[in-house]
Amino acid sequence: MAQDSSAGGDVERRAPSREKRRISRASMATVPDENLDEYGRLVKYVSTYREPGAEEAEEEEGTELRRVWYAPWRKRRVRVRTQADAGKFPDDWLLTDIKQGLSSEEVLNRRHRSGWNELVSEKENPIAKFMSYFRGPILYVMELAVLLAAGLDDWIDFGVIIGILCLNATVGWYQEKQAADVVASLKGDIALRTTAVRDGREQEVLARELVPGDVVVVGEGNVVPADSKIICDYNDPNGFEEFKRMQEEGFLDESSSEEEDEEEQKETNGKKQEEAEEEANKEDEERPKRRGYPIVACDHSAITGESLAVDRYMGDTIFYTTTCKRGKCYAVVQTTAKTSFVGRTASMVQGATGAGHFEMVMNNIGTSLLVLVMAWILAAWIGGFFRHLPIASPPQQTLLHYTLSLLIIGVPVGLPVVTTTTMAVGAAYLARRKAIVQKLTAIESLAGVDILCSDKTGTLTANKLSIRNPYVAEGVDINWMFAVAVLASSHNIQTLDPIDKVTILSLRQYPKAREILRRGWKTEKYIPFDPVSKRIVTVCRCEGVKYTCTKGAPKAVLQLTKCSKKVADLYKEKAQEFAHRGFRSLGVAVQKEGEEWTLLGMLPMFDPPREDTAQTITEAQNLGISVKMLTGDAIAIAKETCKMLALGTKVYNSDKLIHGGLSGAMAHDLVEKADGFAEVFPEHKYQVVEMLQQRGHLTAMTGDGVNDAPSLKRADCGIAVEGASEAAQSAADIVFLAPGLSTIIDSIKVARQIFHRMKAYIQYRIALCLHLEIYLVTSMLIINESIRVELIVFLALFADLATVAVAYDHASYELRPVEWQLPKIWVISVILGLLLAMATWVIRGSMFLPSGGIIQNWGSIQEVLFLEVALTENWLIFVTRGSDTWPSIHLVAAILGVDILATIFCLFGWFTNETMPTDPHDSFVETRNGWTDIVTVVRIWGYSLGVTIVIALVYFVLNKFQWLNDLGRAKRSKGDIKVENLLAHLARLTLEHEKEGEPKGRYYITTAKEEEEAD
């Protein structure tokens, strides 16, 4: 009985484990009963049995009742996906046959649930995007004007204002969509491709098209397209049967091992922790290894920091965006990019968002204009009360009509649309030049950058290695040395890295080395380069003799050999000489079976600077941009490269950065004045950006790896260079598809041109608002007269129509980093607005003269003022855009078209109120049919041209004042020495801490924002 009891206890303890290793119901249900024995049918019954009502309960689980949007009185059950559900798919989805793969139809069905396999932000609903153009403080004022016009029964103004709102929204939505389409089409150039098994054959597909359950082929040099579970070796497809067996028995179920650990933890609650750990370790040792040999090795350094390539076995997960360094396998996709390990990390980086600088500037301008228009409305109401003006009736010259006029012209309804359109068109232009803008506001950041932290390889240099004058040890045949160097290289010609490629191609100059390699060599073992040993090792045989060949860092290779001191000293001297000349050297050695290692020589490799880099750096310095080189190469190579590029010689080792012993202020000074840093890691890049920002600099950072994502996100403008990983591209503000520093500098020029267009339009639009506000309020207070609301509405419409073309205008760029300088913008805009208002008063005031004044007395007062205001305001954009470039044909055509339309309004007297009285009554000879004489129109054109010339001269003089040019410009290179030193001392004081029974740990002093991002 005791034995039975013990057996029963064992069964109870093992029951959860058996349950975890059960065969899925879906696969069990497909087995015919006649193929099963008595216990097989019993197991099938247990596996497939469902409690009554269980299906309905499962269907309701994860769903909820929601009202139908088009019929709120009805409800329907909808499935709700929670964060916990993300990335979870049915078990039978992941049991795809490696020979057949998924069918095209099944791929489409699964994509409806899993979505696309890509790291992108959620696409905004087009309708919601269109409606967003009706939101904002400025647009809310126009919508208030719509309600006011409806309340006054002014249906013409009501319709025209709605038309303005819809026109602005349509133009902005269309222009931004068109630019986004251009960017999206070019993003296909950086799309990752992979090999998948579908419809019974291997085919190349875009990685974004993968779905859970897809069988993919991952080989040496390939980027893993999604989090996937290894099925079997590519050269051993029969391993699929072993994979299925182990899957069914639960040995590949990662969740089951976690649950087993929990059960074991419960059983050891009464034991001491040390004993429990010893017992767990013993059980782990006794647990049989069922996964066989390592199938592939993947480079996880970008996501885990692991230096060595990690061996992965059958059933192990290989992670999205990691690189396969060795082997080839079939793998089944487990989840899509968003819910992958890298995807979750990227989402945390992207999660910290807030109002950008551009949004804050626009809100500042909008709020200021709102305050101004409210002040003018208050002044109009106070003056109206003294004049005993009615509030709402009769239909003209009431306080509400004045209010409506001021609301319409007091806020620039087209400001958000024109600025957004300008940036969208600029983004499309940059995309055609191989620079993909991830978010529009990045253009503003790029235009203001004053420090560019650039990597070396591929950006400053050509990334084309060549071997220069190799050093050969005494008594060694150079052909034998090159043959050994090639043997100690990867032989997968499809995925050669630059070093192996240049080593192999160097055989073109050494035909005897090629003859040596034709002797029947066979590779037995290949160990790729790793940062720890800093060597590549190949074990091979030739004519029955085993050779071990290696190449790598000169110091690492020298340590293998037992050469004489003379040979070693000469070798070290050569290595130092090559380093000072900017060469990256590789030592070569060989060990013949039964003999010691023999030092063969050294291969100096040189990555020459790009032909345009030195000129581009000079150009960048002329633009007020300081270029700092951050490289992982040795300091000697970094200094030599800086010399060749005339970048400066103040290059320091990264040891001086993180806790390098310098005080806080000294460390900041070092970073600010340095020309570059060598032997840097991603954490060094982050610190450099952080310190420069603390000194008030706008910093751009280039990067290409997953571990560069934090520094790219931290920088004011993160730049993913050509060939960057998808995670780096996701974190960056701009992705470049072309190599070289010149593409970045050219993009900065374009960004400054775009910024110039926006700044010119904002100055123009503020001046327009002030112009009519000043004139309308003063004319109401002085002569109790106003321009009709209908004409005011069309003035606002014409201003927006004409200046949408600003986005396509030619523009110059400043030779220093740009800033908004809002105080300067307001000073110039106020002066321009006053000049425009004075010019309009000259026209209106001269109409009191018996002689007819400046423009003669033939026409309607309303139409004359309307035409003069329309012409001078439209031509003002030619003033604020600057005189360095000629205006584009688009802008000229738009302005000319609006001017012609305004002239037609004036000639035919459209929307003219002939009975509007003037007080005091003037002797102006006004036509009673509302028409304006052609001579008067010509005189108005001439007068407006003269006003524009005067304003242009004033604008030119204003921009010559240095104090005005510097007004509102932020001071860069600033820092609080005391605070910097205090934080540095605190960081050192609290660097390490110890607790009894626990290993040493570290504390870091960070700002609140960084702590939030870390969480």
In this predicted structure, the answer to whether residue 540 has a pLDDT above a threshold of 90 is yes
pLDDT at 967: 87
> In this structure, are residues 876 and 832 in contact, taking their beta carbons and an 8 Å threshold?
yes
pLDDT reading at 999 higher than 60:
no
Active site residues: 455
pLDDT the model gives residue 533: 79
Arithmetic mean of pLDDT, 315-330: 86
Query: Which sign, positive or negative, has the C-alpha torsion 627, 628, 633, 636?
Result: positive
- Answer whether the bond into residue 394 is a cis peptide, omega within 30°: yes
pLDDT by residue (tens digit) across 931-985? Answer: 677 888 888 899 999 999 999 999 999 999 989 888 888 777 666 666 656 655 5
State in words which class domain 470-603 has.
Answer: alpha beta
What pLDDT is attached to residue 835? Answer: 95
pLDDT in tens, 228-246: 999 998 988 888 888 888 8
Q: Where in the chain is the domain with CATH 3.40.50.1000?
A: 435-462+609-747
Residue 643 C-beta-side C-alpha neighbours within 13 Å: 9
548 bridge partner residues: 539, 591
Is pLDDT of 302 > 70?
no
All CATH 3.40.1110.10 domain ranges in the chain, comma separated: 470-603
- Per the structure block, which two tokens stand in for 539? 């074990």
pLDDT tens track for 651-676: 888 777 765 556 667 888 888 889 99
Q: What is the pLDDT of residues 717-771, one digit of tens each?
A: 989 888 777 667 777 888 888 888 888 888 999 999 999 998 999 999 899 989 9
Model confidence at 88: pLDDT above 70: no
Q: What is the mean pLDDT of residues 285-309?
A: 64
Helix (H) or strand (E) holding 111: helix 104-114
Supply 975's token pair.
Answer: 């820092």
**The pLDDT value given to residue 4:** 41
Say if residues 703 and 732 touch (Cβ distance below 8 Å).
Answer: yes
Q: What is the model's pLDDT at position 550?
A: 95
Return the H-helix or E-strand segment holding 194. Answer: strand 193-198
- Burial-class residue 616 by CB neighbours within 10 Å (0-12, 13-18, 19+): buried
Q: Running DSSP on this structure, what letter comes out for residue 562?
A: -
Q: Report the alpha-carbon distance of residue 47 to residue 27 in Å, rounded.
A: 10
Taking alpha carbons only, the member of 802, 804, 1009 closest to residue 894 is 802
The pLDDT of residue 975 is: 61
Q: What does each C-alpha distance from 243 to 22, 40, 198, 298, 412 come to in angstroms?
A: 15, 22, 19, 20, 67
Pairing outcome for strands 992-993 and 71-79: unpaired
| Calpha distance 922→918 (Å, rounded) | 7
Nearest CA to 298 out of 274, 278, 316, 279 is that of 316
Number of Cβ atoms within 10 Å of the Cβ of 40: 13
**CATH no. of 359-432+751-965:** 1.20.1110.10
- Bigger pLDDT: 890 or 387? 890
Query: What are the angstrom distances between the C-alpha of 235 and each of 217, 298, 495, 983?
Result: 11, 18, 18, 58
Residue-level pLDDT at 683: 79
Whole-number Å distance between alpha carbons of 741 and 386: 67
Q: Are 898 and 802 contacting, i.e. CB atoms less than 8 angstroms apart?
A: yes
Q: Which of 571-575, 584-588, 632-636, 706-710 has the lowest mean pLDDT?
A: 706-710
State the chain's mean pLDDT as an integer. 77
Query: What backbone phi and psi angles, to 5 degrees, belong to 691?
Result: -65, -40
Of 766, 865, 803, 869, the C-alpha closest to 373 is 766
Q: pLDDT band at 167, cuts 50/70/90?
A: confident
pLDDT exceeds 80 at position 44? no
Tell me yes or no: is domain 435-462+609-747 CATH 3.90.1170.50.
no
For the ranges 345-354, 399-408, 457-466, 631-640, the lowest mean pLDDT is seen at 345-354
**What does the pLDDT look like over 940-949, one tens digit per residue?**
899 999 999 9
**High-pLDDT (> 90) share of the chain, %:** 19
- Contacts of residue 148, Cβ cutoff 8 Å, sequence gap at least 6: 400, 403, 404, 407
Among 203-207, 316-320, 526-530, where is mean pLDDT lowest? 526-530
- Report residue 50's pLDDT band, with 50, 70 and 90 as the boundaries: low
Kind and range of the H or E element at 302? Answer: helix 301-304
CB 135 within 8 A of CB 239: no
CATH 1.20.1110.10 location in the chain: 359-432+751-965
* Phi then psi dihedrals of residue 282, to 5 deg: -65, -40
Confidence of residue 1004 (pLDDT cuts 50, 70, 90): very low
